[in-house]
A and B are shown apart, each in its own frame.
Chain A
Amino acid sequence: MSDEALAFLAGRPLFADLDPETLRHLSDLMVPFRLEAGETLFVEGQASQRMYVVEQGRLAVSDRLPGDRELRMGEIGPGGILGEMALLRGIEHAATAVAIEPTTGYEVGRHALGVLATRSDAASLRVARLVGGRATALLRREYEVLRRAIGSAPADVPLPLGAAGRHPGDDGGDELSYLAGLPFFDGFEREDVAAVVEGMEWRWADRGTVLVAEDTVPGALLLVVRGAVEATLRGDGHAARVLLAGPGRCAAHLGVLDDGVSPVVCRARERCVLVAIPREHVRALAHSDRPLDRRLVRAIYHDVVGAVEQAQRPLARLAASGVDPGTLGEG
């Protein structure tokens, strides 16, 4: 890659905090791409294989809907970044990107973090944190768009739920083997899982229990071991579930991973067994050099991408039903 291109990348906000060595490792993996006006960069539903950084030109991003309809998501111009979540998790493109003028830029394959890790695990982790932070910001933005669509003012929309089910009881003692088999701990050895959860608080919640209230700062990231937690946006007489976290998924991302408050109410949709990863602990992980902490950071960001995917589902439904969910800004 040319020094010119390396300098271009160094000037992008996403990469501005990377040290020169990490940036050089990353830029070594990047190759240029070029599109003429009308050419497609990627199609919604295809496996996401690359992250793209736009140098010049402009792309239109849209979400296809049933009945040959389309939701215009916005435009991406110079400095814009697309497909970055593929670096954290194998996902499908949630939208289609088409060049609306001649466009150039650089792309890097989805296995870049793994390749980077063979050269420098620290560099790989720095990129993962950057992309994970961007995914967290996207999650907050998706929730904001939905909240505008259903009504901006938080309202006391009741969340009807039947009587609480049987209490789960004290069944946390033999949960470790089960825990190790959950998606969150993919690639972790059993002893690693034990080390991660050691000293963390196990919680049991009945159906309907509010775990995180809207507009508060959650005290912990909630990892669901059994049962399910839902996150709901409420406003102007409507409610929209934006996340259903079953076993091996997390809830209460926002406010733990970033500096804002939780825009959603999180509550037990089923009776639950949870592991609460304290907010301070999650924040400290960002600065830890321990290999296990690095893996935990990656697991958390992997989960955030899943939350983003879920957040995009009600957006599409709203658009399909004729409700204008607004236009997403440039990423």
Chain B
Amino acid sequence: MCRLLAYLGETVPLEDLLYASDSSFVHQSVEPRLMSLLNLGGFGAVAWDATSRRPDRPWVYRTPSLPVFDRNLRALAHKADATGLLAHVRGVSYDEHETVGAQNVHPFHFPGTPVAMVMNGTLDRFGEMRYDLLRWIGPELVKHIEGTTDTEWIYALVLSGLEDPAAPGGVEEVALAAERALGILRDVRAAHGIDTQSPVNLALSDGNWIVATRFTYDYGWYQDASTFFGGEREYDYTTLWFTAGSAYGEHDGAWTVGGGERTTSIVLASEPLTVDRSRWLEVPEYSMLVVGRDDGELRIETRELGL
């Protein structure tokens, strides 16, 4: 299991999002508060800066190393700003069968599309169903799959639901494609008789919008009581939180979004970036969060996923 972070809004120093708060995203790699495993499988980020040259192109940073020891990341975050961000610390089970390497680090961002994606989740018995997905994934996308993670396949599946992955029609088209992908995965799981708990918390963005899901297949059907979800107790439904307001920063000693009439910034994360969770809201279970821009303000909508 992993931790994800998505941001959309006013220009913010990357350091503020990744390092500044008392339960910062980078710190969550070694001390997450709402899950029991450490996230030791690598760090990655794509970030957009609307004020930069070629604002439609994000810079990308992916490493299988631990971010808490990464001086390059710290230096970069100290310098760079962002108006949009997807970041991820990868968690894998403590098992020699896991493949830890650069090819499996999120976010996934295929050449030729502006859409990037991260996931906090895992599809149980993915190896049994992986190649059934080829039926729905176009060959021009399959050729970009390099790693072994379920996330990269789900990413390709979502992109395949877009009329033109190189030029998506906007947030609504991506939201539909994400829901379609979840429906295909449900059908393929059923065809293989896979009916154990499998969370699929996705976050997609192109720097202008965010689509995110908090969704779990077969919630409450642990593989075994002693396995990960059975042991999570309070947080056995994989978490997703957000906070939204004006500019993110330090306000009266607290790292949070600011007040005011207009909602111009949103931070979305597997768990709050602060120990104090009172300024954060949980995304409801079985739902999709759709964040778009409307006349300079963010429009945030929660939709039930009836899958």
A residues at B contact (CB < 8 Å): 43-45, 63-69, 92, 96, 159-162, 165-166, 177-178, 181, 183, 224, 226-228, 239, 241, 244, 246-248, 269-272, 313-314, 316-317, 320-321
Contact = CB atoms under 8 A, between A and B. Distances in A.
B251 A228 contact: no
A226 B221 contact: yes
B244 A224 contact: no
Interface in B251-301: 251, 256-260, 263, 276-282, 284-286, 300
Contact of B281 (A66, A159, A183, A226): A66
A67 B259 contact: yes
A183 B245 CA distance: 36
Contacts of A65: 279, 281
Given A65-B281, A241-B286, 13 more contacts: A45-B278, A64-B279, A66-B243, A67-B244, A68-B245, A162-B307, A181-B230, A227-B221, A241-B284, A241-B285, A244-B219, A247-B236, A320-B281
Nearest to A63: B278
Nearest to A317: B281
Contacts, number: 105
28 contacts: A45-B277, A45-B278, A64-B278, A64-B279, A66-B244, A66-B281, A67-B243, A96-B278, A160-B306, A161-B306, A165-B195, A181-B230, A183-B233, A183-B234, A227-B219, A228-B219, A228-B220, A241-B284, A244-B237, A246-B220, A247-B220, A247-B222, A269-B219, A270-B218, A270-B219, A270-B220, A271-B221, A321-B300
Given A160-B306, A313-B282, A226 B220 contact: yes
A68 B219 contact: no
Interface of chain A, main secondary structure: mixed
Interface of B: 183, 186, 190, 193, 195, 218-222, 225, 230, 233-234, 236-237, 242-246, 251, 256-260, 263, 276-282, 284-286, 300, 302, 304, 306-307
Contacts of A316: 281
In the complex, the 9 A-B pairs of residues with the closest C-beta atoms, listed nearest first: A67-B245, A68-B259, A160-B306, A45-B278, A66-B243, A44-B278, A227-B220, A228-B220, A45-B276
A270 B229 CA distance: 16
Contacts of B242: 66
Contacts of A246: 219-220, 236-237
